[in-house]
Chains A and B, each alone.
Chain A
Amino acid sequence: MAFNSIPYLLFFLSVFVFYHVLPRHFRPILILCASYFFYAERNLAYLFLIVSTTLITFCIAFGIEQTGRVSTKKAGLATGITLILLPLLYFKYSRFFCDILNHLMRISHINYHEPDFGILLPVGISFFTFQCISYLIDVYRGRIVPERNILYFSLYVSFFPQVLAGPIARAPDLIPQMKNPQALTPERISMGMVLILWGLFKKTVIADRLGLYVDSVFNNIPFHNGPSFLMATYFYSIQIYCDFSGYTDIARGCACLLGVDLMRNFNLPYFSLSIREFWRRWHISLSSWFRDYVYIPLGGNRLGAKRMYLNLLFVMTLCGLWHGAAWTFVVWGTLHGLCLCLFQATQPLRARCLLPWALPRSVMTGVQILFTFHLVTFLWIFFRARNIQDALYVITHLFSGWPHLYIQFGVMSLGFFGIAILALVEWLQSLGLLKKSIQDYALISRWAVYYAIIFLIILLGVDGGAQFIYFQF
């Protein structure tokens, strides 16, 4: 039941109506049932996984809180994290590590029978696993008191708008909202509606449309050349942003209509002035998770420059591996780590070099935005390619075969049209020319916006489009 499908629309409308009709104390039960139904609808067996992860985390958090001894707390935390991580390691990484083992055995001329993996990755496992780990660590650090009510804790783990692909919520932020959701006001209805519609627009009109071109190039690498690779890479950069931020907007919109505010996961990332800023604006819930639970505990930037670079590289490689069990993701993450290190290391030098030029601020900003966008876009090649060989082929052939561009008239023209709308809206947002809330506009303007988006989706959206990219993570 994808967010961009009629079944989800009907499912959500039913939950929404029942939620606001039911007495308050029944509402959490309804949301939990709806969440489990939503999750189990993909595969009933995986319901066991999310329920068991919830129960394990719930019980161990209590154990950590109850015990007074630090060593026991530590042991409890280690046990908890291990138990929570085991399913993720098994479902997501076992094949990857076995492939590595297999390769090593082969080059060592050792006979080894590779096990047959018929494993399907449970959707959202990376997301709810990280939520549970952060909860345990926060309890261990004494930042939060373990939740006493299993119902609210279960909702924290499995809340359906965000269970499949985030945002990765934090317990102190989400659990209180589960207990005391906001009342449904006209402001919330407007905000929720516009988020859902804008998310659907980004997904169906832009991401899915561009995806048609990107897939036809990246899935048939030998048949294409430089101009097509370049076009597909730019398109992918926009596609992944619209796909993931579209999903997040829909998730936030649905949660908003149920009285819950989920965190903003994207903040105009392609307007970043540097790669460091990019990671503060892209998938914010994940990057802040890695910052708080990996980077800072490793010493962050407190233990000298060398250690900081090592930490950055390690965290970004791990971030790459989190996205997928493949070398392409590992390389993608490591390259981002390297870029972050380079950015840090060259900061004083760049300032010295640019000082004599005394370029106007707006020009500098434009150059920095363009540079960062192109750097990020270039690195997406590793993220999208099916394997490292394909990625290298694309990179080494970026400037070959000019000017023969593979043209898909319909896809490209509709894609450019969608991108133009997106760019306009985000540019106005970045300049602060759009009002903070849609409710600040007059009713006629609001409704005009709703209808415009709805009919753009109906007329230009890809019917029966692709799955959200981040569902595979």
Chain B
Amino acid sequence: MILIKRTALVMVFLVLFAAIDLILYEIIAPAFAKYARDEMGGGVYRILESKAEVLVLGTSRAKHHIDPLILEKGLGLSAFNGGWNGMGLPFVRGLADLILSSYVPKIIILHIDPEELVYNKTQIDKTAYLAPFIDQSDVVKSLIYQRSFFEPLKYESRTFRYNTRALTILKALLIKDFDGKGFIPLEKTFHPEQYKDYLNALSKEPPMPDERFLQMLKAIISQARLSGSTIVIVTSPTWRPNVSEEYLMPLKDVASEAHVAFLAVHSGNTPAFRDPSYYADANHLNRKGAALFSEILMKWIKNHSLVNKNV
């Protein structure tokens, strides 16, 4: 009798849990979709709302290096920078899927560095930033489920999709002034001597791409093509002495295999970038450097007539 009573109590507890979970989800999900626009996942809505014809995707180097206003002015198309601080290829794969299943940009500029092709578990883990969209995309779901064996169990809770995002909604209500068109220029000045140890420790060997990450990149390319978008791969300058034509080989190989236009700008082929005043730190350009790089990128797209080329 006691066992039946206890089992019933456990069942009631679980049913109530499921009910509260659903109620909270029904409250949080619309609020998140309406207000959240920051990097905790809500930024996806900003990209989708922009319906930009030229869309930049990539890491913080994309975010800080490509000025959409320069692209708009030169190409005569609307542009948006969807670069995301700290996010690598797996996240971009999920993000690209979400975007392409909502609208098709005329051109997708995928900013990528050779190191991003190396397997990195942390980057897989960071796909959780897309958790609010897990039910909208099988790609996002499969990426998030790669984080651990128990991930599907966690996402049985619908509220868990909004883990750590409650204050994002509040923040969005308080701070409405988001950066224009997703581009955030860096204002710092670079002092190479501060990075001496870091720069000396860098390997000159090209990074060894991981097959899973290569497949992710290829999937982004083919999905963009199938959707009717032109995709290009670009990599911007760094102050690092190890970045050379040889170092960029893994990226070049992927681009040439997939017949994708590839632009690599580095101090070896663009002497202007040997000037430290263009940098904010060893890996990022500052506002001045970003303007120069965006100009080069815009001209390259224009000169190669890449818009609507669907290569």
Contacts and interface: CB of A to CB of B under 8 A. Distances in A.
Interface of A: 5-7, 409-410, 413-414, 417, 447, 450-451, 454-455, 458-464
Nearest to A459: B166
Nearest to A462: B164
Contacts of B308: none
Nearest to A222: B194
Contacts of A451: 16-17, 20
Interface string B3-18: 0000000000100110
A409 B16 contact: no
A320 to B, nearest CB: 31
Contacts of A460: 163-164, 166
Which 8 pairs between the two chains have the least Cβ-Cβ distance?
A6-B150, A458-B159, A413-B167, A458-B160, A459-B166, A463-B163, A458-B157, A451-B20
Given A7-B150, A413-B170, A459-B24, 18 more contacts: A6-B148, A6-B153, A410-B164, A410-B168, A413-B167, A413-B171, A417-B167, A451-B17, A454-B17, A458-B21, A458-B159, A459-B159, A459-B166, A460-B163, A461-B163, A463-B163, A463-B164, A464-B148
A460 B125 CA distance: 17
Interface of B: 13, 16-17, 20-21, 24, 40, 125, 128, 147-148, 150, 153-154, 157, 159-160, 162-168, 170-171
B153 A459 contact: no
A101 B157 CA distance: 55
Candidate in B24, B157, B163, B168 with the most chain A CB atoms within 10 angstroms: B163
Contacts of A447: 13, 16
A463 B17 contact: no
Nearest to A461: B163
B72 to A, nearest CB: 30
A211 to B, nearest CB: 14
A316 B198 CA distance: 39
A221 to B, nearest CB: 14
B258 to A, nearest CB: 33
Contacts of A459: 24, 159, 162-166
A463 B159 contact: no
A375 B88 CA distance: 43
Contacts of B16: 447, 451
A415 to B, nearest CB: 11
Nearest to B166: A459
Contact of B171 (A5, A409, A417, A463): A409
A7 B24 CA distance: 26
B195 to A, nearest CB: 12
21 contacts: A6-B148, A6-B153, A6-B154, A410-B40, A410-B164, A410-B167, A410-B171, A414-B167, A451-B16, A451-B17, A454-B17, A455-B20, A455-B159, A458-B21, A458-B159, A458-B160, A458-B163, A459-B162, A461-B164, A463-B128, A463-B164
